[in-house]
């Protein structure tokens, strides 16, 4: 998968575009399944997780991924829930402003990671209801796998 280098502005625009009209467990299952199908077609060794709040409602490992990838998805989702933005955006903002993310916010590295691949599920009207995360590829590609799945699901 080849991705252009994202900018903070491009990620902000993408986050705004991908607000969802509703959320329920069938939505979570369908979104997770779309992402899984895209990953399986390309033989990507990833973990995929969809959460409602902090509760995992969809989770899968594809061949080549390990249980350690779920440690990454959990930490990416923690960033999404704390900051209500994608973990890629948080990483880009940290780099642009030149600070160590975990040190600045006093967050343990065992629980939070500023690495792309965590994305907020925000209802139209701006209420965060959950998150989706992928781990196993370079972080920009993890992020793109999610956003491509959301674009398919939302028809954009």
Q: Which two tokens stand for residue 8?
A: 């903070």
Evaluated on CA atoms 29, 130, 123, 39, the torsion sign reads negative
In a domain? residue 2: no
pLDDT tens figures, 109-138: 999 999 999 999 999 988 999 999 999 999
Q: How far apart, in whole angstroms, are the C-alpha atoms of residue 24 and residue 62? A: 24
Q: Is 53 within the bounds of a domain?
A: yes
The whole-angstrom separation of Cα 92 and Cα 84 is 15
> Alpha-carbon distance 119 to 136, whole Å?
15
Q: How far apart, in Å, do the first and last CA atoms of the chain sit?
A: 20
What burial letters (b/e) apply to 47-85, b meaning 16+ CB within 10 Å? bbbbbbeeebbbebbbeebeeebbebbbbbbbbbbebeb
In 42-156, where does DSSP find H-type helix? 67-83, 87-97, 101-105, 139-154
Q: Assign 4 a pLDDT band (cuts: 50, 70, 90).
A: confident
Asked if residue 22 belongs to a domain, the reply is: yes
Residue 1 in domain? no
Q: Give pLDDT, residue 20.
A: 97
The span from the CA of 88 to the CA of 39, in Å, is 19
User: Tell me: the pLDDT tens digits for 62-99?
Assistant: 999 999 999 999 999 999 999 999 999 999 999 999 99
Tokens found for residue 137: 């590829």
Which residues form the domain of 13?
8-154
Q: Provide the phi-psi class of 109: left if phi over 0, else alpha when psi is between -120 and 50, else beta.
A: alpha
Q: Is residue 129 part of a domain?
A: yes
- What CATH number is attached to the domain comprising 43? 3.30.450.150
Is the residue at 143 inside a domain? yes
3: in domain? no
Number of compact structural domains in the chain: 1
Q: Is residue 33 domain-resident? A: yes
């Amino acid at each position: 998968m080849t991705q252009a280098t994202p900018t903070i502005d491009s990620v902000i625009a993408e986050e705004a575009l991908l607000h969802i009209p509703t959320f329920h467990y069938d939505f979570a299952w369908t979104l997770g399944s779309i992402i899984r199908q895209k990953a399986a077609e390309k033989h990507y060794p990833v973990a995929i997780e969809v959460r409602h709040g902090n509760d995992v409602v969809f989770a899968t490992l594809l061949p080549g991924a390990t249980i350690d990838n779920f440690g990454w998805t959990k930490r990416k989702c923690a960033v999404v829930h704390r900051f209500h933005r994608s973990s890629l955006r948080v990483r880009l903002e940290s780099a642009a402003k030149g600070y160590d993310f975990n040190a600045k916010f006093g967050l343990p590295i065992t629980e939070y990671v500023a690495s792309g691949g965590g994305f907020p599920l925000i209802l139209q009207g701006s209420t965060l209801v959950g998150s989706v995360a992928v781990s196993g590829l370079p972080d920009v590609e993890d992020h793109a796998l999610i956003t491509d799945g959301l674009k398919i699901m939302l028809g954009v």
